Every structure is written in C-alpha cells, then in structure tokens.
Structure 1
Amino acid sequence: MYILNKNIKLTENDDTIVWKYLDLSKFLDMLLAHQLFMSRSDKFEDQYEGTFSEPTYEEIKKIAANNPKFLDYYKSHREKVVISSWHANEYESFAMWQIFTKNNEGLAIQSTIGRLKEALKPEKHYEQYIGEVNYIDYKKDFIPFDDTFFPFLFKRKSFQYEREIRIISDVSKTNLTIDNGLKIEVNLNLLIEKIYIHPKSENWYKKLVIELVEKLGFNFTIEKSDLESDILI
C-alpha cells in the first residue's frame, strides 16, 4: 500500500500518465506472478544510483570523522532499497522504446500515478513510497540526508530525459535477502490501463501478446504503438 511521505516530491495530479517499457518475458513474468519486480538500487546501470553529490559527501565526511559507522551505513544501505521505475509522459517516448526494448519486440504498460497508488497491496514488513526523481548537478548541488530515501530520488542531469517516477521501499528492517531485486504484490487490473506493442513489431507479435494475455485471464486493451501510424500523404 502506498504511504504518503510529505518529504518526498510527487505531483498531486493522480491522472499523470506513466509508462513502463519492458520485454515480453518480463511482462509475462509479471502476469504469471501477479507481482511487480523492484530492482535493488545498487544494481542499476548508473553507478551513482543511491550515492551523494559532492557537496553532500563533504558534509557526511565531517560527521563520519567521529562516527565511522555513519558512512558505512550509507554504503550498505543501497543493498536494502528496491525501486520500480516509471516514465512520466503524456505520450509514448521513442527514446524509451530504443533504450528498454530490443529486436523490434517488447511492449509498454500505460498507467497513471493514481493507478500506481491503488494497485500496491499492503506489505507487513516495509512501506512503499512513490516519488519524482530530481535531476541535479552532482558537482554543485546539495542532496539532503535527513531522510534515508533522498539519495534514491536524485540523479544526474544527463538522465533528465527519463522523467522518472519511482515506487521505492526500504527493506533494511526485515530479514529479506535481496539478490537482484524483490517482487511485490500488486493488483494488475488496477495497475495496467493499456498495453502498447512495439512500433516496429510484426503483426504476429501483437497477435501473440493478445493470445497470451487472454489465456492468462486478463482483458487489457492492447494496441500497436502510435509511433507506427499510417502516413496520410
């Protein structure tokens, strides 16, 4: 269940459209398990994920001079934070198709921030938050560290095109062992508003996705990407 945290920035517009671009195998795994995969924060491609900007790090070093465990905590904490990333955009993104899908196959889940909030099922041992990522200059800008989630809600400006919304959880108070990530329970019928098929995919691929979704008992609206619409002249 989504927990409101006043310190975490998030638009109040629940109708804000968000997208998740993924390959067919990951999508089918989601449908079969009725679960959403959340990646361990230190497993992302960006090596700066969950780290601090230079001005913040200088402040932390001063504190750690008399308390070495303070710095050790932040280093190990990345292994206990899990994240599901979504792209905020009114329309499909050609760049996101290119980055997150391969071989002209894959699909995009269209949802909204309101649907994300409603779809998350209560977890007994940890809380789930939703927040917008802030894009900053890591050489100049300060990242607050009075909230343990803050390092995971900031990224370098070079990733600004991602326009990322994150579902984020800290499992450090549990006995869970996290390898690459964690699957969480979700209501997929609430989570998924529509499915878009890769713009470069063949007709057989769309048919395959429709058949698989139907056999698994879902009735999502499935469409071919708008990026491959017929030319009018």
Structure 2
Amino acid sequence: MYINNPNIKLPEDPDTIVWKYLDLSKFLDLLLSQKLFMSRSDKFEDQYEGTFSEPTYEEIKKLAINNPDFLNYYKTHREKVAISSWHINEYESFAMWQIFTQNSEGLAIQSTIGRLQKALEPEKNLKQYIGQVNYIDYKKEYIPFDDMFFPFLFKRKSFQYEREVRIISDTSDTKININDGIKINVDISQLIDKIYIHPKSENWYKNLVIQLVSKLGFDIEIEKSDLESDILI
C-alpha cells in the first residue's frame, strides 16, 4: 500500500502520465503473476544509486567519527531497498524505446501517478513510497539525509533524460531476502491504463499481444505506437 510521505515530492496532478518500457517476457510475467518486479537498489547499472553526493558524504563522515554504525546503516540499507522506475512524459519517447527494449518486440505501459498510488496493494511490514527523482551535480550539490529515502530520490544530472518517478519498497522490517529484486502485489487494472506496442513491430506481433492479453482475462486498451503513424504526403 502506498504511504504518503510529506518529505517525498510528486507532481501535484495525479493524472500526470508515466510510462514503463519493457520486453514481452517481463510484461507477461507481470500479467501472469499480477506482481510488479522491483530491482534491488544496489544492483542498478548506475553505481551511485542510493548513495550520497560528495558534500553530503563529507558531512556524514564527520557525524560518523564517534558513531561508525551511522555510516554503515546507510551502506547496508541499499541492500534492503527495491525500486521500480517509471518515466514521466505526456507522449511516447523514442529514446526510451531504444534504451529499454532490446528488439522490436517491446511494449510500453501507460499509467498515471494516481494509478500507481492506487495499484499498490498492502504488503505485511513492507513500506512503499512513490517519489519523483531530482537530478543534481554530485560534486557540488547537497542531498538531505533527514529522511532515509532521500538517497534513492537523487541522481546525477547525466540521467535527466529519464524524468523518473520511482516506486520504492523498503524491506528493513521484514525477513524478505531481496537478492536481485522482489515482486510486489499490484492491482493490474489500476496499474495499466493502456498498452502501446513497439513502433517497429510487425502485425503478427501486435495480434499476438492482443490475443495474449485477452486470453489472460484482462480488458486493457492496446494501442499501436504513435511513432508508427502514417506519413502524410
């Protein structure tokens, strides 16, 4: 269940559109399990994930001189936090198709901030938050550490193109062993507003997706990519 944390910022409009780009196998796993996969925060390609900027780290080191557990806590906390990333955009993103789908058999889930909030189902002792990522200069800018989730809501400016909103799950109060990630219960009908099919996919693939979604019992609107529109000459 989504927990409202006043320290974690989100777009004010709950109808703000968000996207998740993924391949067919991950999409089918989502529908079949009705669970959303979340990656462990320290397993992301970005090695800075869940860490602090240099000015913040220097301040934390001073505080940790007489209390080494203070610094160790933040280091080990990364192993207990899992993240699902979503892209804020009113429209499809050609760049996101290129980055997050390996071939022409990818899909994009369209949702909204409000739908993400409603889709999260209660998980025993699992704290879940949704927040918008801030992009800063890690050499110069400060990340507050009065909330343990702030390190997971800041990234380097090099990643600004992601325009990311994150679902964050904290397993600290559970016995869950994350390994590479965890799956959380979600309401699929709330989570997914529409499905968009890869702009370079062939008709047989589009028909396959439509049939699979129908046979699995979901009534989800399926659209062809807007990037596939006919050229008007």
Using structure 2 for the length normalisation, give the TM-score.
0.99
Q: Secondary structure at the match of 1:205?
A: helix
CA–CA distance in structure 2, aligned partners of residues 26 and 93 of structure 1: 19
Q: Secondary structure at the match of 1:5?
A: coil
Number of the residue aligned with 2:105: 105
Number of the residue aligned with 2:181: 181
Code of the residue aligned with 1:204 in structure 2: it is W
Number of the residue aligned with 2:228: 228
CA–CA distance in structure 2, aligned partners of residues 28 and 103 of structure 1: 16
Number of the residue aligned with 1:127: 127
Identical amino acids, percent of aligned pairs: 79
Q: How does 1:46-61 map to 2 (within 5 A)?
A: 46-61=46-61
CA–CA distance in structure 2, aligned partners of residues 196 and 49 of structure 1: 29
Q: Secondary structure at the match of 2:212?
A: helix
Q: How far is the alpha carbon of 1:204 from its aligned partner? A: 0.7
Number of the residue aligned with 1:2: 2
CA–CA distance in structure 1, aligned partners of residues 46 and 205 of structure 2: 31
Determine whether 1:38 maps to 2:20.
no
Number of the residue aligned with 2:68: 68
Determine whether 1:144 maps to 2:144.
yes
Q: Secondary structure at the match of 1:174?
A: coil
After alignment, is 61-70 or 192-201 more displaced? 61-70
Number of the residue aligned with 1:22: 22
CA RMSD, Structure 1 to Structure 2 (Å): 0.7
CA–CA distance in structure 1, aligned partners of residues 205 and 43 of structure 2: 30
Q: Secondary structure at the match of 1:227?
A: helix
Q: How far is the alpha carbon of 1:64 from its aligned partner? A: 1.2
Q: How far is the alpha carbon of 1:59 from its aligned partner? A: 0.3
Q: How far is the alpha carbon of 1:67 from its aligned partner? A: 1.0
CA–CA distance in structure 2, aligned partners of residues 137 and 182 of structure 1: 30
CA–CA distance in structure 2, aligned partners of residues 82 and 15 of structure 1: 25
Q: Secondary structure at the match of 2:21?
A: strand
Mark the runs of 5 or more structure 1 residues left unpaired by the alignment. Answer: none
Structure 1 segments (4+ residues) deviating >3 Å: none
Number of the residue aligned with 1:88: 88
